[in-house]
Amino acid sequence: EVQLVESGGGLAQPGGSLRLSCAASGFTFSTYAMSWVRQAPGKGLEWVSGISDTGGSTSYADSVKGRFTISRDNSKNTLYLQMNILRAEDTAVYYCAKANYDILTAIDYWGQGTLVTVSS
């Protein structure tokens, strides 16, 4: 059974940093691209970033480019999102998401999400 478990969310101050993690199990992690997708309270879905199976290719939404960094450790079956220079508009539930194959395929599994709140 595929499981994606996010952690690392919480309260951060504007301008601060947080690092999200996603522990993956139930599939061969190193074979699939992964993404982070966020959802602000009461709003729709926004793709944040994606990373290829090897980690050699990454992509970002314009809203986070230069502030967020996606990475993965295939030896630990873990996906990360380093979030710097946080803004109030980054407040959202952040979902870890598994691609069906590479970044340009549908998302077939989602974690339960971790809430990030940016406020002073």
Task: Note the residues at the interface with other proteins (CB under 8 A).
Answer: 35, 44-47, 50, 59-62, 95, 100, 103-108, 110-113
| Residue 22, token pair as written in the block | 């996603």
How far is Cα of residue 61 from the mean position of the Cα atoms in its chain? Answer: 12
Question: Could you tell me the smallest distance in angstroms from the CB atom of residue 62 to other proteins?
Answer: 7
Closest to other proteins by CB, 27 or 47 = 47
Closest to other proteins by CB, 64 or 118 = 64
Closest to other proteins by CB, 56 or 106 = 106
- 3: amino acid identity, one letter: Q
Question: Could you tell me the smallest distance in angstroms from the CB atom of residue 75 to other proteins?
Answer: 26
3-state secondary structure of 103: coil
DSSP 8-state symbol, 64: T
CA 118/CA 84 separation, integer angstroms: 11
